[in-house]
Every structure is written in structure tokens, then in C-alpha cells.
Structure 1
Amino acid sequence: MTTIDNHIAVIGAGPAGLMAAEVLAQGGAGVTVYDAMPSAGRKLLMAGRGGLNLTHSEPLPDFLTRYREAMPHLRAAVEAFPPDALRDWSAALGQLTFVGSSGRVFPKTFKASPLLRAWLRRLDATGVQFAFRHRWTGWDEQGRLLFQTPDGASAVVARATVLALGGASWPRLGSDGGWVDILAAKGIAISKLRPANSGFTVAWSDVFRDRFEGQPLKGVALTIGAHTVRGEAVITRGGIEGGAIYALSAELREAVLGIGQARLTIALRPDLDAAALTTRLSGTRGKQSLANFLRKAAQLSPVGIGLMQEAAIASGRPLAAFSPAELAQLINAVPVQLRGVAPIDRAISTAGGITFDELDEHFMLRKLPGVFVAGEMLDWEAPTGGYLLQASFATGAAAGRGALGWFAQSQKS
């Protein structure tokens, strides 16, 4: 077993870990970033396939509410490194950003790889070292960090440690939740990791599934209980997913896990009320098929009409037997029964993690002095739209500042 004496160790080479390393290096600390994968930023590159939604342009008070119950715990970190600071940081790496029509912020290249390459070059220039194919396995009795490497076991002495190992979504990219047992054995309270921003399963009929798999639902409003979101969704072979679904995933997930199912209501024409739709549907159909009549009279898409047919089948009445008023009611209240949550390894992100009660204001674990935590290891979740990456960057910077302060204090003692 080899022993390496190092200043500060950052474990995890995703956005949170790399940001912590940058803050530490800029503060004058010697830093090594360890990661089990062969290269850095693999999940960031995956996010870049959708354009790399870095953050969101909405006012900060509204932005912060997206973190729900975790807002009080994340507020200081996000305020210290807010969306405008993230955009400036990206620009300093040569990656200018723009605000899309939905308010989301993207690099103008619409890619992650140029930003990641520039970032890694800057980290290298500041002296940050990298140790890939190093899987962290905990601590030994002397408090040294233990790693499994291609060359065998390795022990590392660190003055401070930043853990940024991600959640448990996309394990093939490095976030497999393997850290949970290690920290639980140290008495750290951890909320169960659950899928967030995930799809849900639906028992579609064979006809609907075969015809509409992959088809989008555009401009719809989705509702569960008192929560409604406007946006888009996509029919999958086993269920439904997409941006509007992700925005409701916490409520939908808790309903499914609590009672075994969730009733999602879809408004296909949310800008038209029942009276307006009834008027449109009261005309003579003539020789048109019902599907053609609905398409022309109510401007419904084929997949929307298909959803109405699914609801009619479930009700035991053919859709053709519905009156104009009943059709109008159904158009803006199509019931869809969600039967399950897509597996966590298919989710975009993870809910659950280390509870904030375990941390001090510097993101240090109270029970493990000198060990700081950032990113999706923490017990928070947020919808897609830039909120996930923003909090990962911001908590990484906060943990880096905390570790830098701890290191400076240890130098004096």
C-alpha cells in the first residue's frame, strides 16, 4: 500500500468537485482531485448533449424557491455564487452564454466539451492534480483516505477533504451512491436516495404504446393535487417523461411511493375553457371520423386524441358516446394513472442524501471535522432548467471556501 501526503483532497471530478478544486487552488492550497472514472466531468458531458443548461435567468428570489424545503440551506451558497456569477465564470473560460426563450441559460456553442476542456486547462495551470481510476473506499484507522486503484490499494493523508461524489443516477458515469454505506458507518444521517427528474410508468394499451411511443405532448398543463405545471411531456413505451413531468416529479414520486399510484391530469388545451371547447365541439361532425373532428374543431394532436381514447377505454364508455360538454371536460382533464417510478439509474438526478443537520454553515460534516460535502450528495432536489447545475457549482464553491478556511486554520495550529 502506497502512502501519499497531500494538502487537500477533492473526491469526485464533476461540477461540484471541480469548482471546489478551483476555489482551493485559487486560495493557494495544493489540491488533488480523485475520481473512479478514467476522466473528469462525464455527467457534465452527458448534460451537454441537451445543450448544457447551466442556469436560469429568472430573478434570484424566484430562483431560490425551486429548491423547495432545501432553500434555507442552499440560499447562502447560491447567493454567494449566483446565476450571473456562473455566466461570468463561463465567459472567462471563453464560453459566452445566452438566455433561451424559456429563460434557461446555455453556452452559445450549445456544448459542454469546449467549456470542460477550457476549465481543465485552467485547473492544470493553477496546479490542480488529478488521480483517475481511484475509487474511494473510506478511511483507515489512522484517518487516511483509502482508494482502490489499478495498481492496488492506496492511502492518502489529507489536511482537508471535499466529497463531491454525486447521487445515484447514471451510475455508468460515476455517480453510483457507493458512498452511502461508508458515511452511514460513520454515523452520518442520510435520507434514502430516490429518483428525481425521472419518468413514470403507465399501463398503456398496446395500440396506444405502439402508435405513440416517442411522441411529444406540447403546450399542455399537468396537474397533481394543487400543483400545476405548463410545458411538454413525451410518451415512452413504458410511461411518460419530459420537462413538465420532471417539474412535478417530487409530488408524483411521493404519491406513487406512498399509495402505489398517482393520478396525473393533463389539460390538452389549457388556454380554452370548457364553454369555448363545448361550442367548438357542438358543430355537425358529418362524415368525419371522431379523430378528424377533434383534430379540426379543438386543434388536438393525434397523441392527445389517443390519450382521450385511453381514458374512455378506462371509463368503460366509447369516446364516440361522449357529449360535446363531456368531451370538452375530458380535453382539459385527461386522467393518467402512474403506476411506478422509473429506476433511479435512469433518472436525471437524485433526491435524498446527507441531511443538512449533519453540516455546519461551511458544508463541513460536524461528526467528521475537516470533511466537506457538496453537490448531489446533499439532501436537496430541484427541477431541470438550470437549477441542478447551479446548486452543484454553488455548493462546490462553498465547500471549497470552507475547506480553505479549515486548511488555513490548521496551518496556524
Structure 2
Amino acid sequence: MPDTSTARTLPIAIIGAGPAGLFAAECLSRKGHEVHLFDHMARPGRKFLMAGRSGLNLTHSEPLEPFLQRYGTARDWLEPAIRHFPPEALRLWAEGLGEPCFTGSSGRVFLKSLKASPLLRRWLVRLQEQGVQFFPRHRLTDMQGLSLTFQTPEGPVQQTGRAVILALGGSSWARLGSNGQWASLLEQHCTPFAPSNCGFMPDWPAEFLLRHEGETLRGVTLNFAGQTHRGDLIITKRGLEGAPLYALSAPLRQALAKSGGDTVTVHLNLRPTLTQERILERLARQRLRESRSNRLRKALGLDRTMRELLTQLCPDARTPGELTDAITQAPLHLVAPAALDRAISTAGGLKQAALDEGFMLRHQPGLFACGEMLDWDAPTGGYLLQGCFSTACFCAEAVHHWLSRPLPGKVAP
């Protein structure tokens, strides 16, 4: 910690200009603190902007109790932060910046503009008006207590913070600034990164993947470990992507890690809106002399991709009963998750045991952390962004209280 005679004059240093770092900067500058915000990219919020390309899913509208359950084993850790800054508060914050929201049919909350860029522009103006100073192209290379070393285009730069907040993100989409290299500075306090909300590689021939690349299996469900999730799956040359897989990514990743190199089986339902009895009835009405492909097309409207996939997964299914089982419970064998850098988000990062209840690192007073760099795992649907905003707000409040304590030798007023 800097000398007590100058400690009160130092700024708060926040490292990382993603949503967590930006929101921590807003919360602290609103309370009158001087805030310096550092980032190794030239512009803030690069990954945030990417998330907004498909319509920015800010949070989710479901009641708080099931909302909190979405964080799995990290619920107890994140619950105080999310209760402190809940989904409704995040929605009101966005609308306070002039960006109204709406709730989709799935319960997800989106910006009406369906873009992150207008919100980010207004947000940066607010931060500037509150006095936040932004230092781009500053890459953190060393930390000694609250003394920081950055590499810049002009050479190394030192900065000491009155308090320091790390908001350095996870380890996916490195080209947007989230590369996870910070973990080498806190290696003994970290869990290795792992892909989350990611695609998976099935044990299909490369030729099948290339032939069907870009095609979509619409409105299907995946069932694994007692969980069923519905949505679209997209075939790529790297495997399968889509919301049902993203929702199952944590248990699938864990099962693959325990499998010792074996595949993990998920069950695919190509017609989840129909009961098995209804499917069997439709198939039984088809003429047996018809080809299997024609029966599936006429009875159930399966497109060419679905029909060829059934041939790949269940080549021996012929009778109406066998085909019914194949359509509703096709075994999908997964080999591995997608590459870490292609994942929407990452698990791993700073361990819960390394931080106190205010997200301050136990080994270094005055050093705090928030956002995706913490070791928690959230599904898609707005839970990741909500977690980043909530932990940033809670962390900022903890910093404010920590700085409000009397310095050694001083008497509190």
C-alpha cells in the first residue's frame, strides 16, 4: 500500500474496459472517486459490441429464485451481488441511458435497438462526464501489491492505485481483447480456463460435416443428465453449435473430463412437439414400399439434413417403431468441446477461496476482482452479462467501503 501521506490522492485503478470494468468505473466515479481505467485494446467494450451483433441480450426476466439457480455451484458466491444489483436494476440502468428494453417470448431481455453500439456510446459519454480517465493500449505485465506495470506503445508505464480492480475477462475471443493472459500473474489463485457456452465435436466423418456445413436442425431438443433444452443446432465444419448445446455445456464438459477419452452421449429429438404415439401413427400410415427417406419426409416433414443425419446416427432403423425411437432418442456421441477461443464465454479463473465476500483478494488488501475473470459458469440468456454487471457493482461498493476506513494512525470522524 502506498505511503499514508499520499494514499488519499491516488486514483482507483481499474484494469479491463469490458462491461464489468466500465460499470465498476461508473459506480465509483458516481461516488466521487477519481478513477483511471486501463485496457490493452485501443477501444473499450470490444467483446460487448460483438455480443450485440445478434441483438444484445442484457439479462432475463424470470423470477429471481430460478434466475439464481442458473449459476449452479456458484450461486451462493454470486447471490449477494445479484441481489444487490438484480436484473430489474440492470434494465432500468439501460433505460436510464436512453436505451429501452423489451422482453422476448423466451423471457430474455433485449435492447429495443438490438445493438450494443448505441448503448456503449452513451455509456462512454456518461463516464467521461463523471471524470473517468481512460488509458488505452496499456497491457498489464506486472503487479507488486497495488503497484502496476503496463506495456504501452511508448514503453513501460508504472501506476499505483489507491485501490485496484481487476476486470480482465475470461479467455475466449482473444482478438477482441479477452485472452486470459493475466492468469500468469495470479496463477496460484486460479482454476484453469475451460470453454463454456460452446459448441461440441460429434464423432461424425469430416465429409458429413463439410457437406452439411451451415445447415440448421430447427426446433430440436437435446437431453442429457436429466436436463432437456430446445432450440436450433447449426452444423459447422468444427462440429455443432447452438443454444441447446450451450445450455448443456457445463455438464457435458465435466462428463467429458471424467470419461478418460471416451465419448459422451446426448439424446437428440428431431420432433419434440409430437408424442411418440403420434409419430408412430404417422409412420404406420406410410406405404412400406416407399424408401425410408420418403416415409420420413411425408410423415414428419423431415428435411434432407435431418434424414441424412438419421442415416448417420441410426442406420439400421427401418420399422415404424425403430424409426420412432430414432427420431425421438437419436444417440449423439460427442468427442470434445469446441476450442477455448471459440467459446462464447469461459469457466475457470480466480477461485472463490482466493477472494473475500467483497471480491477482494485475500493475499493483497486493496486488490479486487469482478466479472468473467472469476471462476463461475453461466448459461446464455443474459446470465453472463448480469453476473458481470452485478459483481462489478458489488465489488465497487466493497472498494468504496474499504477506502472509507480510517488509515493507520488516523481517527475516524
Q: State the Cα distance separating 1:158 from its structure 2 match.
A: 0.7
Partner deviation per Cα, 1:296-317 (whole Å, 9 max, x = no partner): 212323222222111134xxx3
* Separation (CA, whole Å) in 1 of partners of 2:110 and 2:277: 41
1:175-190 to 2 correspondences below 5 Å: 175-184=178-187, 187-188=188-189, 190=190
Partner deviation per Cα, 1:213-267 (whole Å, 9 max, x = no partner): 2122222110123222122221112211111110000111112222122111101
Correspondence for 2:324: 328
* Separation (CA, whole Å) in 1 of partners of 2:45 and 2:286: 59
Q: State the Cα distance separating 1:59 from its structure 2 match.
A: 0.8
Q: Does 1:118 pair with 2:122?
A: yes
Correspondence for 2:3: none
Match for 1:267: what amino acid?
A: N
List runs of 5+ in structure 1 lacking aligned partners: none
Residue 83 of structure 1, aligned match among 87, 108, 111:
87
Distance 1:281 1:173, change over 3 A: same
* Separation (CA, whole Å) in 2 of partners of 1:145 and 1:282: 72
Correspondence for 1:197: 197
1:85-234 to 2 correspondences below 5 Å: 85-140=89-144, 143-184=146-187, 187-188=188-189, 190-205=190-205, 208-234=208-234
* Separation (CA, whole Å) in 2 of partners of 1:246 and 1:192: 20
Partner deviation per Cα, 1:165-185 (whole Å, 9 max, x = no partner): 00101111111111111012x
Does the aligned pair in 1 maintain the 2:146–2:366 contact within 8 Å? no
Q: State the Cα distance separating 1:101 from its structure 2 match.
A: 1.3
Residue 31 of structure 1, aligned match among 19, 28, 35:
35
Aligned length: 400
Does the aligned pair in 1 maintain the 2:247–2:379 contact within 8 Å? yes
Correspondence for 2:279: 277
Match for 1:299: what amino acid?
A: G
* Separation (CA, whole Å) in 2 of partners of 1:334 and 1:167: 34
Q: Which segment is superposed worse, 402-411 or 49-58?
A: 402-411
Distance 1:71 1:226, change over 3 A: same
Correspondence for 2:76: 72
Partner deviation per Cα, 1:269-326 (whole Å, 9 max, x = no partner): 123232221111112336644223212212323222222111134xxx3x5xx11100
Helix, strand or coil at the partner of 1:381: coil
Match for 2:329: what amino acid?
A: A
Helix, strand or coil at the partner of 1:231: strand
Residue 311 of structure 2, aligned match among 281, 287, 309:
309
* Separation (CA, whole Å) in 2 of partners of 1:136 and 1:324: 63
Q: State the Cα distance separating 1:207 from its structure 2 match.
A: 5.4
Distance 1:206 1:405, change over 3 A: closer
Correspondence for 1:360: 356
- Structure 2 length-normalised TM: 0.93
Does the aligned pair in 2 maintain the 1:203–1:238 contact within 8 Å? no
* Separation (CA, whole Å) in 1 of partners of 2:132 and 2:338: 38
* Separation (CA, whole Å) in 2 of partners of 1:301 and 1:162: 52
Match for 1:303: what amino acid?
A: T
Match for 2:219: what amino acid?
A: G
* Separation (CA, whole Å) in 2 of partners of 1:380 and 1:263: 25
- Structure 1 length-normalised TM: 0.93
Match for 1:84: what amino acid?
A: E
Partner deviation per Cα, 1:175-198 (whole Å, 9 max, x = no partner): 1111111012xx42x111100001
What fraction of aligned residue pairs are identical, expressed as a percent?
Answer: 48
Distance 1:176 1:111, change over 3 A: same
Partner deviation per Cα, 1:44-89 (whole Å, 9 max, x = no partner): 0000111111001111111111100000110111111111110110
Helix, strand or coil at the partner of 2:162: strand
1:340-355 to 2 correspondences below 5 Å: 340-355=336-351
* Separation (CA, whole Å) in 2 of partners of 1:136 and 1:6: 18
Q: State the Cα distance separating 1:208 from its structure 2 match.
A: 3.1
Helix, strand or coil at the partner of 1:6: coil
